[in-house]
Chains A and B, each alone.
Chain A
């Protein structure tokens, strides 16, 4: 059985050991995880020197420095290592470093802490292909609903379907979800279809009568007991993770006032509890939007971008 080596860098011993114990005992996967713990930057560096880790999870504030230092060090000595930050702070406060160091995953330490989601993240980091598909994110899912979108005329119909799906599954919606859906559809419609010369085929706001079958957009709605989820998949695979972080930073720092794009990404990041971007370059982009039933889910949003 394959074994992956994981390093958890966290100064809170309770959290550190619980995460370790969870991954060792309950992470269900066809591979095993060997977890090492470190409480400081110095210890983490020693561990990284001694062992070839596959995955590094690091807190930001550590007694002798910042987790960014650990991540930078890890990437230097082992460029293939997968990394994620694990923090209780909102990405807003450190988006600049996240962008500079190309960190595509930030896990939020929250109460309640969703271990199933944590498992999903770990698996996605190790196998980015597992990040695709809405059913991965649901436990005992209600029946899924699929749509193929190939014309702008269908948007209203899909919006209605979402509304009734939400209602049917007992979700009280403030409008955030619908807004995020429209943003994601707009992105998929206007940013994925390209002409032979590589230019964008449609401009934002164009009425599209009929998309090429190779450009059609797949939309899936799903729900389980604790959350509602939807995915929007285009056949472009054009999203660049670095530009996602670039747009997030611009919107967070308020430099975006005159920008014409990027606001949709930021809206989805802010409005939706879990905003996941999966990219298979030049093949497909899947946007997954998950809203927990429990509105109390911390307002700090994780960053989840998986590249195949």
Chain B
């Protein structure tokens, strides 16, 4: 019995989260749920006909999201699904349970971390503003002092290095405040809600790129676009955040190639996923660094940036139900791979 419970737990967790994060169901988790529920056993009598019908749909690969959402939004259905999950663990579930539990725990931890971080960062504003104000006040006082000293002290120039030294420290403080403040804005911005819409993937990519191309910083870059000629996919993403992510990735490519490199951008489809690859001809990223570079505060750029760009991009993409990975490109440069689950609907 305990074993059964343990096997089912990950699904129960997935479903618990479903009210809030229905979109972030990865297709494999959805499949897993369905597979579990579609076992060839008669369903108990207490299962509602609506659920019964949905569970027994043979040709459905995924549950239609609205239906699932509707199920989980009703408490009765929710409890029925939990009970079902406890009754019908599958071999497939067993195989995937550990992996899923791990990833769910990680997600849960991340969600918790995100909430806490956003609270902390919000509370940081007043102290930050206060420190910034004080630094500014010291600067002003210093200027007055310097003026007074110049007129009332013999050989004031002897004191100048001292003043310069103090100003240097103030500048350093300002720079640090700046960094903190930047970090704060980024974190707060990204933990705020996303507005996801159903959009044609490549159309969004193309729109973003055509606006980037006009920007002076990308002027010397070569961008090669290869859309998936056969079909376009619908995805559900926050187009504005996606633009930031794409900008961030392109900007990384620009920095890695001293602003004059080539970037290949292509899309393809794989197992109900829309895949976008962004590859540059820079020096590349060593494989052992791939995981590291996607975690917060890691950067290979000396004295540049907070190292949050990639990890934030990754978090944003994951919150939209997608993934961001690095792999070795066919050219020697870095290759970033973004995937989003495709939405049902006609392809264009």
Contact = CB atoms under 8 A, between A and B. Distances in A.
Nearest to A116: B136
A19 interface: yes
Contact of A109 (B129, B134, B185): B129
Chain A interface main SS type: loop
Interface in B148-184: 174, 177-178, 180-182
Interface stretch (A10-18, A134-142, A214-222): A10-18
Given A26-B140, A112-B174, A18 B182 contact: no
A115 B182 CA distance: 19
Interface residues of A, number: 23
A296 B178 CA distance: 8
A94 interface: no
B128 interface: yes
Interface string A1-39: 000000000001011001101100110000000000000
B56 interface: no
Contacts, number: 67
Given A111-B177, A112-B174, A22 B126 contact: no
Contacts of A110: 129, 132, 181
Contacts of A299: 185, 189
Nearest to B135: A112
B134 A111 contact: no
Contacts of B127: 14
Contacts of B217: 172
A88 B127 CA distance: 11
Interface in B181-228: 181-182, 185, 189, 211, 214-217
Contacts of B189: 299
Interface of A: 12, 14-15, 18-19, 21-22, 25-26, 88, 109-113, 115, 172, 174-175, 294, 296, 298-299
12 contacts: A12-B130, A14-B127, A18-B133, A18-B134, A22-B133, A25-B140, A26-B137, A115-B133, A115-B140, A294-B178, A296-B185, A298-B185
Interface of B: 125-134, 136-137, 140, 174, 177-178, 180-182, 185, 189, 211, 214-217
